[in-house]
């Protein structure tokens, strides 16, 4: 794996950890916060698409597989955060909130594989 690719992966990981920390600090029903989280995730997804997926750097087949899984989880996290944004019921909020938190755990595992 090239140093440039590794640096991009570490940068992506750092951005996700920042968002994860922000979300973890507000477990109560706050649709406005979810809107901000969704905006931050959109920026992270743009970074991932432009700097990591659409790159000229050589990618190993294993890293390519990990990219596919990360991309899928980022999209699913986006759905979770969209659902959080529209949640009005505390039980629904908590369920979606937990799903989002679980996705961060899964994403962290993918970064350990890089």
Number of domains in the chain: 1
Quickly state the pLDDT bin for 59 (edges 50, 70, 90).
Answer: confident
- Rounded distance, CA 63 to CA 69, Å? 10
- In this prediction, residue 67 carries a pLDDT of 94
* CATH code of the domain containing 101: 1.20.120.330
Residues of the chain with pLDDT > 70, as a percent, come to 99
- Rounded distance, CA 33 to CA 52, Å? 28
- Rounded distance, CA 8 to CA 83, Å? 29
- In this prediction, residue 81 carries a pLDDT of 94
pLDDT tens sequence across 11-22: 999 999 999 999
Taking residue 18's Cβ as centre, other Cβ atoms within 10 Å add up to 12
Q: Average pLDDT, stretch 99-113?
A: 94
Answer yes or no: is pLDDT of 56 > 70. Answer: yes
End-to-end CA, the chain: 9
Question: Domain span at residue 42?
Answer: 3-113
Tokens of 26: 């507000």
The pTM of this model reads 0.91
């Amino acid at each position: 794996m090239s140093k440039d690719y590794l640096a991009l992966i570490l940068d992506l990981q750092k951005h996700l950890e920042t968002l994860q920390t922000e979300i973890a600090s507000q477990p109560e029903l706050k649709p406005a916060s979810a809107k901000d989280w969704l905006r931050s995730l959109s920026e992270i997804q743009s970074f991932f698409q432009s700097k990591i997926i659409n790159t000229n750097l050589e990618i190993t087949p294993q890293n390519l597989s990990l990219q596919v899984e990360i991309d899928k989880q980022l999209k699913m996290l986006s759905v979770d955060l969209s659902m959080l944004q529209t949640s009005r019921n505390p039980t629904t909020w908590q369920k979606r909130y937990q799903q989002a938190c679980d996705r961060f755990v899964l994403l962290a595992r993918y970064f350990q594989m890089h």
